[in-house]
């Protein structure tokens, strides 16, 4: 398997990895190919889930950012906001080649609710000349977690990823456990060796992991400090600042549930920032970006043995589990519902925490299985198409479940009846069976039963 740790843990803007980060990357790639061309008009068509919840997920803004030459990993929220305001007010868009073209988001971005056959998150980019002749047309898909693919990629799976020789390829949890046992290494060591095969040395990889952690912690801190109402029209009040102030006052108390309050607080802080279009880490998605940071924050706050090395161990182990879901199922709520986002994040976090606590590889796999088993069937039904209700609170619940799953796994010897591979397959089958209105379309569940206007 040639997915990188840093494919799963990407830095980008909220509120959605599939609806914001992915389309922004696709638009950037498209615009980068227009240098030297007599472009007069650029048209974007968003299909399926990208259409149905695109405005609530800022997909229209994201494609404008990408067409303007912005990349998710390096763009700051304020910079993106300036670009959007400029295009809206001037009716002009500056392509990366410095060519300015007329552009009105209300006219040049089309929303078509019907999905393309390959994937629910499809988009078409078209560039034409002054005389209407075609210069370039491409169809892209945002497949979850900020991953993007062309139509050719999806129809020819063998070409979806560049061939890369890595020392420890794996495609299942069973194979991953077997490799660890036969080479007497843990999952983190296995992934570290695979990352080195990409050309980075151990110090560079560690620095990149530390940067991921620092971005997560900065996001938590911003969430603690930023007050106000989240954008989008639901009038959802940020709760993290008030909860943080209360937690600080009670930190010396003997309340046994204070630990749970800390976990929930950190998860809420991240996802309130995400909902506001802040800078987050896809872990593995933006909608589920609060689970892993919250569990790491719990580990650092309450485990005396916590260290920089234990957090790196956590992240690498979590990534190994995330790769299994990406390859064998999906991390896209538009494809399999929220079990593919919150469920996967909880599974990854549970595995990472067991590793940080010194568990065996069998216990790591068991924790990942437990966490996903109890997210099976979770729908994605965002009210008003916004990543706010119920998404923000779901991150807190997913983080608490991850810690519980880790504790349960460590209480046994790693032997269990249901395997992680079986649960991943079940999750994928369940997602395929789920009605489309429960898969990030805002056409079912809470999205139609909660009055917001």
Query: Which pLDDT belongs to residue 256?
Result: 85
Select from 166, 175, 156, 186 the least CA-distant residue to 4. Answer: 166
Coil vs helix vs strand at 35: coil
What is the distance between the terminal CA atoms of the chain, rounded to a whole angstrom?
A: 46
Q: Determine the longest span between alpha carbons in the chain, in angstroms.
A: 74
Mean pLDDT, 10 residues at a time, over the chain (453 residues)? 90 97 98 96 98 96 98 96 97 95 98 96 98 97 97 70 81 98 98 96 98 98 98 96 93 86 98 98 98 98 96 98 98 98 98 98 98 98 96 98 98 93 98 97 95 66
If one counts every other C-beta atom within 10 angstroms of the C-beta of residue 263, the result is 23
- ∠225-227-231 over CA atoms, to 5°? 125
Pairing of strands 41-47, 109-112: parallel
Query: Which pLDDT belongs to residue 163?
Result: 63
Query: Which pLDDT belongs to residue 250?
Result: 85
Looking up tokens 């078209």 gives 126
Radius of gyration of the chain (CA): 21
Looking up tokens 């994928």 gives 428
Burial of 253 (0-12, 13-18, 19+ CB in 10 A): exposed
CB 48 within 8 A of CB 123: no
Query: Which pLDDT belongs to residue 155?
Result: 80
Segment (H or E) for 62: helix 59-67
- What whole-number distance in Å separates Cα of residue 102 and Cα of residue 49? 27
Tokens of 250: 């009670």
Please enumerate in sequence order all residues whose Cβ is within 8 A of that of 133, keeping only pairs 6 or more positions apart, or say none: none
């Amino acid at each position: 398997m040639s997915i990188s740790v840093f494919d799963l843990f990407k830095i980008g803007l909220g509120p959605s990895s599939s609806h914001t980060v992915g389309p922004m990357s696709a638009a950037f790639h498209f615009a980068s190919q227009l240098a030297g061309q007599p472009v007069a008009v650029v048209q974007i068509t968003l299909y399926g889930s990208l259409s149905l919840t695109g405005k609530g997920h800022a997909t229209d803004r994201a494609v404008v950012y990408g067409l303007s030459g912005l990349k998710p990993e390096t763009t700051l929220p304020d910079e993106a906001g300036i670009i959007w305001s400029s295009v809206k007010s001037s009716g002009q868009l500056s392509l990366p080649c410095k060519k300015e073209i007329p552009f009105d988001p209300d006219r040049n971005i089309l929303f078509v609710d019907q999905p393309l056959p390959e994937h629910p998150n499809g988009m078409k980019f078209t560039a034409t000349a002054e005389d209407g002749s075609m210069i370039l047309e491409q169809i892209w898909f945002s497949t979850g977690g900020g991953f993007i693919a062309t139509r050719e990629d999806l129809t020819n799976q063998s070409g979806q990823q560049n061939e890369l020789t890595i020392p420890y390829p794996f495609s299942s949890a069973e194979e991953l456990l077997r490799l660890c046992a036969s080479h007497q290494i843990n999952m983190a060591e296995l992934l570290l060796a695979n990352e080195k095969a990409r050309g980075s040395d151990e110090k560079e990889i560690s620095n990149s992991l530390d940067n991921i952690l620092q971005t997560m912690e900065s996001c938590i801190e911003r969430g603690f400090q930023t007050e106000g109402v989240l954008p989008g029209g639901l009038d959802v009040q940020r709760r993290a600042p008030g909860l943080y102030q209360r937690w600080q006052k009670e930190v010396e108390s003997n309340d046994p549930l204070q630990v749970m309050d800390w976990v929930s607080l950190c998860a809420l802080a991240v996802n309130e920032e995400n909902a506001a279009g802040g800078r987050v880490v896809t872990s593995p998605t933006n909608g589920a970006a609060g689970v892993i940071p919250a569990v790491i924050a719990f580990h650092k706050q309450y485990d005396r043995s916590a260290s920089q090395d234990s957090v790196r161990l956590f992240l690498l182990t979590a990534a190994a589990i995330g790769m299994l879901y990406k390859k064998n199922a999906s991390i896209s709520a538009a494809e399999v519902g929220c079990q593919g986002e919150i469920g996967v994040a909880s599974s990854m976090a549970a595995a990472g925490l067991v590793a940080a606590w010194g568990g065996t590889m069998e216990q790591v796999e068991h924790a990942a299985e437990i966490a996903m088993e109890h997210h099976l069937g979770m729908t994605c039904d965002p009210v008003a198409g916004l990543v706010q209700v119920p998404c923000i609170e779901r991150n807190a619940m997913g983080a608490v479940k991850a810690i519980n799953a880790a504790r349960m796994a460590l209480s046994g010897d790693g032997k269990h009846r249901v395997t992680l591979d079986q649960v991943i397959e079940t999750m994928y089958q369940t997602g395929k069976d789920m009605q489309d209105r429960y898969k990030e379309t805002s056409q079912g569940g809470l999205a139609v039963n909660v009055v917001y206007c």
